[in-house]
Amino acid sequence: MTDNNQKRIVIIGAGIAGLSTAFLLRDFGRKNGFQFDLKILESAQRHGGATRTDISEGYLCEWGPNGFLDNEPTTFDLVKKLELDSELVKANENSNKRYIFHGGALRKLPMAPPAFLVSDILPLPSRLRVLMEFFIAKKTKNSDETVDSFARRRLGDGFAKYLLDPMVSGIFAGNTKELSLKSVFPKMVEMEREHGGLFKAMIAKKAAAKKYNTTSGGPSGPNAILHTFKTGMGHLTDTLADSLSGSIKLNQPVTSVNRENGKFRVFVEKRSFEADFVILACPSFAAADMIKDISNPVSDAIRGIYHAPVDVVCHGHHSSGSEFDPNGFGVLIPRSEGIRSLGTLWSNSIFPGQAPNGDFLLRTIIGGAHDPQIVELNEDLLHRTAAQDHKLVMGIQSEAIFKQVFRHKKGIAQYNIGHSIKVAASEQLEKDLPGLYFTGASYRGVSVNGCIKDAFRIANDFKKLVGKCQ
């Protein structure tokens, strides 16, 4: 083994992004005879980041993501490498039933155009305006556009206000009037650019499906299915951490990363480590502080990526005697309804077994870009807010028999207008300083799929760089 094969890698952050990247690099090294000095530095007392599961009194509660969709092949590649295939659980078919709280009532979200036409989800004029999308000319300028602007331009004000707003809040906890369309929904930009509109793109996709004798017109399709693991999403990060246990160093807050004599130096309190590769798999606001000496402009750029506060409130109820029977995915709430919660997932209706027999589990999201003041509420007020909203939205009068809160003061990254410029700045620095990488939910995808896909990007680039050294 030559010295060139001995690479020193420091990964900062032991969440899903850092752990996935570390596993893929080690997997590559073992298969190709490379020896790595790998260190994963985590500032917290445990691994996993927001991808953690808490099982208490028979209730399975997720700190962060409650699953991942089956439309990203790299996630399943990683699951297969970890030999976790048998642990996967698909969402119940009932989870296809999704609801919007609008006009003081739960309304089922229509999943097909004919059902949409006869539904009461929107007033008739708004429904007809949606159908006019087919005749709306495509945008000619290549400028950044907000999600709200796109929706109003192509689908009308009613759709933007009462449907898209709660859907986006449910995914990003964001403000549609600030979020960048090309950063959060790049496929919609592509559909308009290549086909002239959304309906025209769907027609083209159906034609492709017929041609290739598939149901989706492609390998991933629009009707992706949510998956998790039998013991929750934390099983993924726990398994990754177990495979990397000798490399993970907890309670190691990195203060800065410098460049010296063609190498990187990572500083942790009074110690430092020299590295050939440094992977910043921590939130962008943390990475910004670390790289000030390397590039102040990039530091300023990624510091500008806002992370909205989000609180996850879990309530368990006995089914017997309850006024409500959760049967579906959950309910989303438009901001126009004046209710503080963004929405509630009906956890054990999505994944049976996430609550004791005879009980049901509600997972309510509060906060986001519209409500940053949520950080001022204590846990008791959060529980009371959730209970009040459950009563208004679902008619639940009974007291929860199980309560838990997970707080994320700097939670979900907001890909607002100009986000692509900030990401481009970090990508340019990666090119200027080979061996330095920025990854995680702050940049190219807030989901588990987005983080794992980016881990594969880094692993593939790493292979090329290592190959040049031989």
Long-range contacts of 373-378 (CB under 8 A, 24+ apart): 374/309, 374/310, 374/311, 375/309, 375/409, 377/311
- pLDDT of residue 244 exceeding 90, the answer is yes
Phi and psi angles of residue 405, each rounded to the nearest 5 degrees, phi first: -130, 135
**Domain boundary assignment for the chain:** 3-51+233-305+416-468, 92-121+306-414, 125-220
Taking residues 69-96, report their average pLDDT. Answer: 96
Distance CA 260, CA 273 (A): 12
Domain 125-220 indexed as CATH 1.10.3110.10: yes
- Residues 294-302, mean pLDDT to the nearest whole number: 98
Task: Write down the pLDDT at residue 465.
Answer: 81
Closest listed residue to residue 69, CA positions, set 458, 453, 460: 453
Residue 470 has pLDDT above 60, yes or no: no
Cα–Cα separations (whole angstroms), residue 287 to 20, 302, 411, 424: 18, 8, 15, 15
For residue 14, give the amino acid letter. A
Pairing state of beta strands 277-280 and 436-438?
Answer: parallel
For the cut 90, the answer to whether the pLDDT of residue 467 exceeds it is: no
Residue matched to tokens 């989000």: 310
Q: Position 109: which residue type?
A: L
- Cα(62)–Cα(433) distance, integer angstroms: 37
What is the arithmetic mean of pLDDT over 251-272?
Answer: 95
What is residue 241's three-state secondary structure?
helix
Residues 6+ apart with CB under 8 A from 204: 195, 217
Alpha-helical segments (H) within 110-197 = 113-118, 124-131, 147-155, 157-159, 165-172, 181-184, 186-195
Distance in angstroms (rounded) separating the CA atoms of residues 86 and 179: 38
At 211, the pLDDT band (50, 70, 90 cuts) reads low
Long-range residue pairs from 296-302, CB within 8 A, at least 24 positions apart, any chain: 297/425, 298/425, 298/426, 298/428, 298/429, 301/421, 301/422, 301/425, 301/426, 302/422, 302/425, 302/426, 302/438, 302/442
pLDDT at residue 140, rounded to an integer: 83
The residue-averaged pLDDT of 45-68 equals: 97
Position 468: which residue type?
A: K
How confident is the model over 364-413, as pLDDT tens digits? 999 999 999 999 999 999 999 999 999 999 999 999 999 999 999 999 99
Please tell me the least confidently modeled range out of 42-56, 213-227, 409-423.
213-227
- Report the pLDDT averaged over residues 280-299: 98
Determine which of 135-139, 236-240, 250-254 has the lowest per-residue pLDDT on average.
135-139
Average pLDDT over residues 159-170: 94
Mean of per-residue pLDDT scores for the chain? 93
Which is nearest to 298 in space by CA: 141, 188, 428, 199? Answer: 428
CATH architecture of the region 92-121+306-414: Alpha-Beta Complex (3.90)
3-state secondary structure of 175: coil
Q: Which of helix, strand or coil describes residue 8? A: strand
Q: Does an H or E element contain 260, and which?
A: strand 254-260
Q: How confident is the model at residue 417 (pLDDT cuts 50, 70, 90)?
A: very high
The mean per-residue pLDDT over the stretch 407-430 comes to 98
pLDDT band at 144 (very low <50, low <70, confident <90, very high): very high
pLDDT category of residue 74 using cuts at 50, 70 and 90: very high
Report the alpha-carbon distance of residue 66 to residue 51 in Å, rounded. Answer: 8
State the average pLDDT over residues 309-327.
92
pLDDT of 218 reads 38
Strand-pair partners of 408: 310
Percent of the chain with pLDDT over 70: 95
Indicate the DSSP class of residue 441.
Answer: T
What ranges in 407-447 are assigned the alpha helix state H? Answer: 419-432
pLDDT category at 214 given cuts 50, 70, 90 is: low
- For the cut 80, the answer to whether the pLDDT of residue 212 exceeds it is no
**What confidence category does residue 4 fall into, taking pLDDT thresholds of 50, 70 and 90?**
low
Rounded average pLDDT over 415-439: 98
Residue 2 banded pLDDT, cuts 50, 70, 90: very low
Q: How confident is the model at residue 184 (pLDDT cuts 50, 70, 90)?
A: very high
Domain 3-51+233-305+416-468 -> CATH class: alpha beta
Position 322 scores a pLDDT of 80
The pLDDT value recorded for residue 325 is 87
Q: Please give the structure tokens belonging to residue 166.
A: 């709660």
